[in-house]
Amino acid sequence: MLYTEMNEEQLLTEKAELTKKYDEFKAKGLNLTMARGVPAPEQLDLSINMLLHCLDGDTKSKNGIDCRSYGVLDGIPEAKELFMEMLGVGADEVIVGGNSSLQMMYDTIIRALQLGVLGSEKPWCKYDKVKFLCPAPGYDRHFAMCEALGIEMITIEYKEDGPDMDEVERLVSSDPTIKGIWCVPMYSNPTGITYSDEVVRRFANLKPAASDFRIFWDNAYCVHHLVDKEHAHLLNIIEECKKAGNPNMVFEFSSTSKISFPGGGLAVICASKENIDFIKKQMAIQIIGYDKLNQLRHAKYFKNFEGITEHMRHHAAIIRPKFEVVLYKLEQEIAPLGIATWTKPRGGYFISFNGMDGTAKRIVALCKEAGVTLTNAGATYPYGNDPHDSNIRIAPTYPSVSDLLQAIDLFCVCVRLASVEKLLNA
């Protein structure tokens, strides 16, 4: 029965039953988390041979560079080739960095603030105000970065195929203080949305009022399919920008953080040759070169994009059942009650859950008190402010299936209890 169709007596009876179940969960002393998109230990084990046996004393790249020493700012050829095939870019359109794409994004913004980007009239910090557009619900670390650096954020709503492009186009074309937009275009964090071809082309054809406007294209999940067949496909933004006459408008980022090791992978920035040349001049003051031994390990282990693709099938086999458990429980326990909606992603690391307005913080608090940690309510919005207090990001990948079953059972009880409370107080 729909909760909205229950009378007060029925709601009070339901609340009493749910409170009893909740107290039983609290008595178990659980200590579980569905807070962050962390690979499970079994996923990390998939790449362990990269560390144990991969180099076998060979420390030279195929062009003769000794990877133990200094130099090669933009990455050895073998490492570049992995990403060239994965992201559809040329050798002069990619820089292979350290283990963190987030750090590369942060460094890119810091350089823009202090030194400017290609086409800047002056560094961004010389403007009275710098703004970024932030499609939401989105990646909390993008928003935290802007907030820490004093960049004003403007929330953009999501539609089924990506951000509200009417609003993006209107704002970008009319406000020269808007210098960037955050995008997670494939299996978006947390919604799981992949931008449609039309949305990607509209991005490529933007007409910014700021000559130094940049699209920050965080393509973190481009190979993270949960299904082999009928998985999502994403247009190549760099190629589309070239076609549209805007070749310098995009910075694309990716990494192997959830392919090999989050603490020991490879990250990249991709852009036009002109952008890359400009960035390399700035970076040359910052660093002589990144960890080339790690680049060589990755290249030898994966060999090519086909090797990465096969490797990701093993990842999917580990985490797909976890997504299925969560989605099955939500369908069984929550769907008949009419109190929430959620995404059913075909890839990525998250499920985006939308409860009744005004219940997300309460659900998260109830779960925490009973021993299950979730991402903070509001974290998926700029400044931590979800205007509806409804969105919760569920991260199923790290817990074991048995732990996940307990966590999602508790989550469902908390969703129901918070919803009943909301209706009784309406």
Give residues with Cβ within 8 angstroms of 73, minimum separation 6.
95, 280, 283, 284, 287, 288, 289
Return the percentage of the chain with pLDDT > 70, whole number.
100
Query: How far does CA 41 lie from the centroid of its chain?
Result: 20
* Mean pLDDT for the stretch of residues 17-39: 95
Whether cis (ω within 30° of 0) applies to the bond prior to 137 is yes
- From residue 275, give the alpha-carbon distance in Å to each of 41, 103, 112, 212, 281: 38, 18, 12, 11, 10
Label residue 356 by pLDDT band (50, 70, 90).
Answer: very high
Average pLDDT over residues 298-315: 97
pLDDT tens sequence across 288-297: 999 999 999 9
**Could you report the per-residue pLDDT of 149-180, keeping only the tens digit for each?**
999 999 999 999 999 999 999 999 999 999 99
User: CA separation (Å) from 21 to 154, 208, 382, 414?
Assistant: 41, 54, 35, 10
226: confidence class by pLDDT, cuts 50, 70, 90: very high
Residue-level pLDDT at 262: 95
How many CB atoms sit inside 10 A of residue 58's CB? 10
Q: pLDDT tens for residues 247-288? A: 999 999 999 999 999 999 999 999 999 999 999 999 999 999
Note the Cα 220 to chain centre separation in Å.
Answer: 6
- Confidence (pLDDT) at 230: 82
> Angle of helix 401-424 relative to helix 360-369, nearest 10 degrees?
130
Taking the model in full, what pTM does it have?
Answer: 0.96
CB 314 within 8 A of CB 46: yes
**Residue 426 pLDDT > 80:** no
Q: How confident is the model at residue 57 (pLDDT cuts 50, 70, 90)?
A: confident
Section 394-420 average pLDDT: 97
Torsion of CA 310, 314, 315, 316, to 10 degrees: 90
Domains (range + CATH), the chain: 3-43+309-424 (3.90.1150.10), 61-303 (3.40.640.10)
Over residues 43-52, mean pLDDT = 94
Q: What are phi and psi of 60, to 5 degrees?
A: -110, 140
Share of the chain above pLDDT 90, in %: 96
pLDDT at residue 387 is higher than 80: yes
Q: Are 35 and 411 in contact (CB under 8 A)?
A: no
Residue 80 has what pLDDT?
98
